[in-house]
Amino acid sequence: MKLVIGSDHAGVRLKNLLKGAIQNAEFIDVGTYNEESCDYPDYISLVAKAVMSGEADAGIALCGTGIGASITANKFDGIRAALCTNCFMAEMSKRHNNANVLVLGARVVGDDLAVRIVQSWLDAPYEGGRHQRRLDKISAIEKNG
């Protein structure tokens, strides 16, 4: 699986850790690359655009709390970004919502938990069925308000 990953300065350390810890994915790192203060929308928008274009199969977005990254990513048509703080949320975001961007708060979850959250998300299948009807409604809202 090809994953695009991006963060602001608060997420750089965890981003680098995840790239080394997750073995069943190829990463496209869109930055930032150091802990100098920067604006998360600049990097999270690159994550969303790579998923939208098909350059990546899915994305991981990080900022301090994950809130700003989640808000930013969800502004893009077709992006279903899920801010997850535990493995159950990550699994269900994929099973029921077919989340294509996982969002983590680097200052909220510890390193080991973050790795487990990502792996839970990657391993979970989308169930489709009744959940697709709901995603279709979300897509209609994106297009028509």
HSE, side-chain direction, 13 A CA sphere, residue 31: 11
Tally: H helices and E strands in the chain: 6, 5
Q: Tell me which amino acid residue 88 is.
A: F
Query: Residue 100 above 90 pLDDT?
Result: yes
What pLDDT sits at residue 66? 98
Which of 103, 38, 36 lies closest to 69 in space, CA to CA?
A: 103
Q: What is the pLDDT of residues 115-128, one digit of tens each?
A: 999 999 999 999 99
Q: What is the 3-state secondary structure (H, E, C) of 79-103?
A: CCEEECCCHHHHHHHHHCCCCCEEE
Residue 61's SS3 state is strand
Active site residues: 63, 96
Write down the pLDDT at residue 145.
Answer: 80
Which phi and psi (to 5°) does residue 81 adopt? -90, 130
The C-alpha atoms of residue 28 and residue 13 are separated, in whole angstroms, by 16
Q: Report pLDDT for 96.
A: 98
C-alpha 91, offset from chain centre: 13
Q: What is the CATH number of domain 2-144?
A: 3.40.1400.10
- Residue spans of the domains in the chain: they are 2-144
Strand partners, 81: 101
Looking at residue 61, its pLDDT comes to 99
